[in-house]
Amino acid sequence: MRTITEPGVYTDLKAEDYHAQTEWLSWSRMKNLVPPMTPAHFMAALAAPEPRKRHFDLGKVVHRLVLGEGDQFAVVQALNKQKEPYDADGYTTVSAQRHRDALYEQGLIPILRHELEAAHAMADAVLAHESASILLGNGTPEVSLFWVDPGTGVKCRARLDWLPDPVEGRRLIVPDLKTADSAAPSEFAKAAARLGYYGQQEHYSDGIRALGIAADPAFLFVVVEKDAPHLVSVDQIAEPDDVRLARRIVDHCRRLYRDCLAADRWPGYGSGVHDLSLPSWLHFQMEEALS
């Protein structure tokens, strides 16, 4: 495994080596410090292996098809009664399950044939989208950033899907590719809040600034729907109140991490007694029911 000891921009770092750099704080780990999560949750997530989820696998395959870099994949095979392989259409057979697990062990992403066909359709939709195709035009895929946060001294890392080539006189616009159930901006805004994409935008932009790549980068999400017709939208978190909130959350997480690391103490909810406030919906529901 390659070990990163110095801040910098790394264009040749394998994904598994990037994820192994646990001394450098990533946003995916930092999310476990966003309230109501606690430092105890952070440490538990740090010790746990990366979960294997099929919707993650589909996203990784789409990234590979669009960006040309990333995790390699293979179609899952099952065996018929004559022990001849065929493309599995699910994981109901033991042979398909065994081949899936074997592919994971080889470092490959297992994918079913119909899922691969959907991934190709999603990739085609992204590359056919006028704005998305321009954003993903000239640049370098899978770029790893390592920097030291000047405000806290925390060692940070991020992995850009795509780092565009700089153009003199133009603002650097960094796209991040997302697969989603819905690419409708109103629905993706909810996903961005639920999945912490707001923090990704701030964290990644911090790395770009800290490493001198660009002083004022823009960060956009290229979102493609998983189901046909695989609509695409290009979105940004731009409302001033939203950006300020994202900034406060990222700063809070880094300060909390710094303090817990210095004290080597990772607390949970505390040992005191908490006064609970029942949600307002219960009052409204019961007032109507009991009237």
* Contact of 266 with 43, CB cutoff 8 Å: yes
149, exposed or middle or buried, with CB in 10 Å at 0-12, 13-18, 19+? buried
Q: What is the DSSP letter of 25?
A: B
What is the reported pLDDT for 5? 96
Q: What percent of the chain has pLDDT over 90?
A: 86
Place of tokens 């780990």: 29
Residues 6+ apart with CB under 8 A from 216: 171, 172, 209
- What is the rounded average pLDDT of the residues 121-136? 97
- 179-183: list long-range contacts, CB under 8 Å, 24+ apart: 179/55, 179/58, 179/59, 179/62, 179/122, 179/223, 179/224, 179/225, 179/226, 180/223, 180/224, 180/225, 180/226, 181/225, 181/226, 181/227, 182/225, 183/223, 183/224, 183/225, 183/231, 183/232, 183/233
Interval 182-207: pLDDT, tens: 999 999 999 999 999 999 999 999 99
Q: What share of the chain is helix, strand, coil (3-state, %, to 5)?
A: 45, 20, 35
Residue ranges per structural domain of the chain? 8-70+120-263, 73-107
Residue 179's DSSP bridge partners are 224
Interval 158-171: pLDDT, tens: 999 999 998 888 99
Q: Which of 181, 180, 182, 174 is nearest to 202 (CA)?
A: 174
- Give the confidence band of 177 by pLDDT, cuts at 50, 70, 90: very high
CA 48 to chain centre: 17
pLDDT of residue 291 exceeding 90, the answer is no
Global pTM value:
0.91
Report whether CATH 3.40.50.720 matches the domain 8-70+120-263. Answer: no
What is the reported pLDDT for 50? 72
